[in-house]
Structure 1
Amino acid sequence: MRTNDVPVLQGGYAPVYEENVFDDLKVIGEIPSDLNGMYVRNGPNPRFVEEGRYHWFDGDGMLHSVLFEGGKVQYRNRWVMTDSLKEELGAGRSLWRGIKEPPRRDRPDMPIKNTSNTDVKFHNGKLVTMWYLGGDLYESDPYSLETTGKKPIDSRIAPLPVSAHSRVDERTNEFLFFAYGKEAPYMHYGVIGADGSLKHLIPVALPGPRLPHDMAITEHYTILHDFPLFHDQDALAAGRHKLKFHSELPSRFAVAPRYGSVDQIRWFEAKPTYMYHVSNAWEEVNARGETEIVMTGTPFRLSRDRDGNIEADKVTRQATNLEHDFIFYEWRFNLATGQTYERVIDDIVNTEFPIVNSWMQGYKTRYSWNVLMGRNRVPEQPRFCGLTRFDLQTGTVQAYNGGVDFWYSEAPFAPRDNWKHEDDGYLVGFVWNGTEQRSEVHVFDASNVGQGPVCRILLPKRVPHGFHATWVSKPRLLAELG
């Protein structure tokens, strides 16, 4: 396997090949006794590196978990055993090239390898892993991390490429998703119930094939995205994937009742931009008695020329080269007037991968905990260099960075046992300590991120840099699994 000439196959990015279980881990500080549950993170970890140009997003999915129980911890990692990985293991080599190379024309069923490496959620007693380009969903046992198979899907969903960023409503235990592809109507939206059955599915017509990344939910509504960063149509017709920012087009947001019909979808327009991740959304009644849907997230900071015009080519390169420069932003969609109001929450601190207290997803929140993004030292090698805590009520932000050689992960909110208020808990995440050349798990007091971790758990094996994570509290585990 080649690694020396590819930045995202070196250092903290380099893959690991063993599946391990570790107990009796060394702890600096003290693990809070009221922190009980499971932290799980997904990310790319190539078993075989294909020929051609490699991209960080190409690696096979691997789950890494840390189980907290009564002040003790256990670490475990395991491959997401997708159909494509099984094929390659049988062949003993890579059978697909990455997203920088042309797709396989002999495999219309899977021209690009579904690695299921992007996100992980807990639903109906299983961990569900997903892929950012959309495809089959895979389920794993939450304790062993063993892949148990594909998520059972209703025949109406089966042909649809389900996106990575589905949402689980912890209050209803529903799995809300969107699927998108290259054939009309180009998007679908659906709801899977707590028992795994399909409760709702509708088409959402788009003008053409798009590249939405995330979605948002409120108590009664779902918000779907149509941003003007999508395929170069000439390249797409030739079978190649090439991005283009269409600065002449607005951003569009579809607001639909959770179980709404096609004719109940309402479209709202806003300034052109692109966004990977939503922080939260909720319903709010304004001073005039009108209901507004409020959505917060971390869109790109768009490059502009001296006259204030968007430099579309630079925006495209920003996305292609993983040059991360983001702002924290708010949109308000007025259901009475059809108007959109938007504002900058913060354009000073560069952050991404926002998370909230997941029990309050879809309801008004005061806090958002985001990953602090650093400037790339090497092209296509992003740096997650700390954690932040935004207070939307006071308009302030608190940040923590352990030093230039530390690399962080998305750190989900972990409520303390019998939590009482929104930030009554912890943040838990993997950290690469470049100074000591080791991986650690850091636990932060969510109400005071700036003071640094309350404890650090040292791991005997490296955890490669990854993407999204989830926290499953002990009560949720017991309710679903007993």
Structure 2
Amino acid sequence: MADIAVMTDESGESNPYLLGVYAPVQDEVTADELTVIGRIPTDLNGVYLRNGPNARFPVTGRYHWFDGDGMVHAVHFENGRARYRNRWVRTRAFEAESAAGRSLWTGVMENPKGNPFGNARGLPFKDTANTDVIFHRGRVLASWYLCGAPYSLDPLSLETLGVDTFLDTLNGDFMAHPKVDERTGELFWFDYGPRPPYLRYGVVGPGGSVEHCVELDLPGARLPHDMAITRDHAILMDLPLYQDLDAARQGRYKLTFDRELPARFGVLPRRGRADEIRWFEAKPCYIYHVVNAWEEGDEIILDVCRVTRPTPSTNGSPLARMISYLKLDARMYRYRFDLRTGRTSEGYVDPDHNTEFPSIDTRATGHPTRYAYNVTVADAETNLFDGLVRYDNVTGAKETYSYGPGRYGSEAPFAPRDGSTGEDDGYLVSFVTDEREGRTEVQILHAARLSEGPIARVLLPQRVPLGFHATWVRAEQLA
């Protein structure tokens, strides 16, 4: 296996997303005897999984952080003990490059002409399944940010079980952040592409097959990233961010944010027809991640992390432009859609903190939630999560925790303790990497007393590169 050395782009600049806390690791490790500082709660039982990009071979051309091969890192907690393992997501592209012994794809910063294959909708980039991990019907699904095949993993061994076709009923791709209603067993998803139909929405039933799918009309190709559900509805997005078609014809990937277009939110019954969708307009923005949504009388409440500058302007090198595009600048924001009048109300929940990668008690997805747990984004050149913040929807209070200088974390899902009775009756779990020591640990914090800091720190045998999304799977789900 080739080592990933310090890489540069064509201008000779060092790429920060291949260095330090982002640098890929090559070893797949299984470790049972881990050093613990403090004491792991015996009522914390389940597995914490986090996905992320991890380049296996030296890249062809310029590297974009999103290009890295998917690698899942997991810590299994059981009766006060912890076990760590990490495994590559063995996608079709991963296996093809393994057989060749080298990189076969260029990344999104390069001309894709000559790439072996793309996704089902014709996007000619490498589906790495490196973005999110979602638990549904006994398996974990690894997803890709540009819409790809959902790869099924065993939640404990992390073995890649193959593409989940949902009993041969999935026709097309699968977006990065599907929503699971744990009360009904349903999974809600969409896919999108550069050609009509620009957006499709579907429902996987509790039996594991796609039971509902509709094509939704959009004015052109868009780049939606997330969606929401409530008890009775689904919310899809038509946001004014799209690929520049002139650049695409020249083999370049460039995004355009049109501030003259409104943000639109499509609300339809969870198994509704295409002609039942109702569009609500709001101020132009982009949204990477939804916190949650629910119904209050005739209104739908939607909480999100809202971005107003998804394409910051820079005239620097291609590498400088990539770094600028990747930098998150989001605020907690709330929409209210009045189903009776068709009116949209909107405003900030927190105009001050740059927060993203939100987490809630997943048992309440689509229902009213009191708490949200977000990462805080450091004021730095690259994306670094330097702490956590808990939002209280009832009192409006915020509680924060900082990892400390030079220490950066991951998305921290809520992990209910055994017998949990509430949204803060449990823990938050996160990988935390110290850039000075090149070492990673897992921190466990009381969800109800975040500012007190970790009650336990589990030291890991290798560094976990900074990455993307995480999930918590409860012991009862594993059973």
* Same fold by TM-score greater than 0.5: yes
1:292 aligns with 2:299: yes
1:317 deviates by: 6.2
Question: Among 7, 19, 30, which residue is 2:28 paired with?
Answer: 19
The residue correspondences of 1:23-42 to structure 2 (distance < 5 A) are 23-42=32-51
1:136 aligns with 2:137: no
Q: State how far apart, in whole Å, the 2-side matches of 1:458 and 1:417 are.
A: 24
Q: Could you state the TM-score of these two structures normalised by the residue count of structure 1?
A: 0.92
Mark the runs of 5 or more structure 2 residues left unpaired by the alignment: 8-13, 315-319
1:107 deviates by: 4.0
Q: Deviations over 1:131-179 (max 9, x none)?
A: 0001111111111101011102466632x22111111111112111010
Amino acid at match of 2:425: D
- 1:55 aligned partner: 64
Q: State how far apart, in whole Å, the 2-side matches of 1:13 and 1:30 are.
A: 29
Q: Deviations over 1:393-443 (max 9, x none)?
A: 222211111212011100100001111122111001111022432100001
- 2:385 aligned partner: 384
Amino acid at match of 2:108: I
State the Cα RMSD in Å: 1.9
1:449 deviates by: 1.0
- 2:342 aligned partner: 338
Q: State how far apart, in whole Å, the 1-side matches of 2:43 and 2:253 are.
A: 48
Q: 8 Å contact 2:110–2:251 — kept in the other structure? A: no
- 1:425 aligned partner: 426
Q: 8 Å contact 1:123–1:194 — kept in the other structure? A: no
- 2:327 aligned partner: 323
Bigger Cα displacement from structure 2, 234-243 vs 358-367:
234-243
Question: Among 252, 262, 268, which residue is 1:256 paired with?
Answer: 268
1:163 aligns with 2:175: yes
1:89 deviates by: 0.6
SS of the residue corresponding to residue 44 of structure 1 reads coil
1:269 aligns with 2:281: yes
Q: State how far apart, in whole Å, the 2-side matches of 1:242 and 1:184 are.
A: 20
Q: 8 Å contact 1:138–1:151 — kept in the other structure? A: yes
SS of the residue corresponding to residue 44 of structure 2 reads coil
Q: Report percent identity of matched pairs.
A: 49
Q: 8 Å contact 2:117–2:125 — kept in the other structure? A: no
Bigger Cα displacement from structure 2, 229-238 vs 419-428:
229-238
Aligned length: 462
1:177 aligns with 2:181: no
Mark the runs of 5 or more structure 1 residues left unpaired by the alignment: 286-290, 304-310
Q: Could you state the TM-score of these two structures normalised by the residue count of structure 2?
A: 0.93
- 2:450 aligned partner: 449
SS of the residue corresponding to residue 43 of structure 1 reads coil
Q: 8 Å contact 1:244–1:313 — kept in the other structure? A: no
Amino acid at match of 1:247: R
- 1:306 aligned partner: none
Q: State how far apart, in whole Å, the 1-side matches of 2:59 and 2:435 are.
A: 27
Q: State how far apart, in whole Å, the 2-side matches of 1:209 and 1:2 are.
A: 37
Q: Deviations over 1:256-279 (max 9, x none)?
A: 111111111111100000110000
Amino acid at match of 1:127: V
Amino acid at match of 1:436: E
Q: State how far apart, in whole Å, the 2-side matches of 1:411 and 1:221 are.
A: 27
Q: 8 Å contact 1:389–1:398 — kept in the other structure? A: yes
Q: State how far apart, in whole Å, the 2-side matches of 1:119 and 1:106 are.
A: 24
1:55 deviates by: 1.0
Q: Deviations over 1:219-247 (max 9, x none)?
A: 11110111111112322343421011100
Q: State how far apart, in whole Å, the 1-side matches of 2:290 and 2:343 are.
A: 20
The residue correspondences of 1:399-410 to structure 2 (distance < 5 A) are 399-410=400-411
Q: 8 Å contact 2:64–2:322 — kept in the other structure? A: no
Amino acid at match of 2:19: Q
